Structure 1
Amino acid sequence: MVKIDKESHRPFYEQLVIGIKEDILQGILEPGDQIPSVREMAKILLMNPNTISKAYKVLESEQVLVTVKGKGTFVKQVKSRPRDLRRIEELQQQFNELVIEAKHLQVTETEIKQWLKEAEAKLGGNEA
């Protein structure tokens, strides 16, 4: 289940977005699963409902969740959807910035590759 680090510099809604995506990748949440309502999730995570709502709206706009009026919010059934090239470009830019920061902190290429392998292993990937 999603965990929010209240000490993190990252906004809570972004942590929730990443947490839900991670739960999906790890198989904790599967397509068709209902997720807690905004109010329920706010109560579970001890957060403002507006923050939860913002995260859910981001996930809906990214085609990760779907809300059905009167029924709830669900993990969207994954069909083969086209790659979002704009978001991929943004991600590549963020990755480049992380590499610059890592190099500035004298993190080696070997360490970066190891981090990638660990992240892939955590998500059940096998591409690294």
Structure 2
Amino acid sequence: MAWKFNNESPIYLQIVDAIKMQIAQGTLKPGDQVPAVRELAVTAGVNPNTMQKALSELEREGVLYSQRTAGRFVAEQKTGGTSMREELSQKHIQAFVDSMRTLGYADGEIVTVLKGYLHEEGAHE
């Protein structure tokens, strides 16, 4: 995985989102072992403490679980709740809508702009 970080949010939260994205895409599946903290930190180019904080947050959220001597693993998704994919899509939609509202767009205008964009993208496929 190529790690790309920005200055908009703390790196550990970006790592949390990146791992959740891997789960949503099916790259990481329930029961898969997650590489060790130091290995992930090296590949991401971050301090091991930052990676540890991200993985601890994922455990706190129930996305990962630890087995004492074996490491960390991807947890089964909770049944009846929203999937990782739905959770991430809602987060991205909220950020998009907030940005558009900041630009002064009304909700109806946001829908029109998005439909126009999708229509243009479809024409290029």
Pair in the same fold by TM > 0.5: yes
8 Å CA contact retained: 2:30, 2:74: yes
- For residue 54 of structure 1, what is the amino acid of its counterpart? K
Is 2:11–2:50's contact at 8 Å kept on the other side of the alignment?
Answer: yes
Alignment of 1:1-128 (within 5 A): 1=1, 3-5=3-5, 7-80=6-79, 95=94, 99-107=97-105, 108-110=109-111, 111-112=113-114
Q: Residues of 1 paired with 2:56 and 2:2: CA distance?
A: 17
Q: Find the aligned partners of 1:15 and 1:77 in 2 and give their Cα distance.
A: 22
The structural deviation recorded for 1:80 is 1.6
CA RMSD of aligned residues (A): 2.9
Aligned mates of 2:54, 2:72 — CA distance in 1: 12
Distance change in 2, residues 1:49/1:81 (3 Å): farther
Percent identical across equivalent pairs? Answer: 36
Instruction: State the distance in 2 between where 1:34 and 1:2 align.
Output: 19
Render the CA deviation track for 1:91-120: whole Å, top value 9, x for unaligned.
88x93x7634322214541245788x8xxx
Q: Which has the larger radius of gyration?
A: 2
How far apart, in 2, do the equivalents of 1:27 and 1:66 lie? Answer: 18
Distance 1:42 1:48 in 2: 6
Gap regions ≥5 residues in structure 2:
119-125
TM norm structure 1: 0.68
**Cα distance in 2, alignment partners of residues 75 and 114 from structure 1:** 38
**Whole-Å separation in 2 of the counterparts to 1:4 and 1:20:** 12
Normalising by structure 2, report the TM-score.
Answer: 0.70
Letter of the structure 2 residue corresponding to residue 109 of structure 1: I
Provide the aligned length of Structure 1 versus Structure 2. Answer: 107
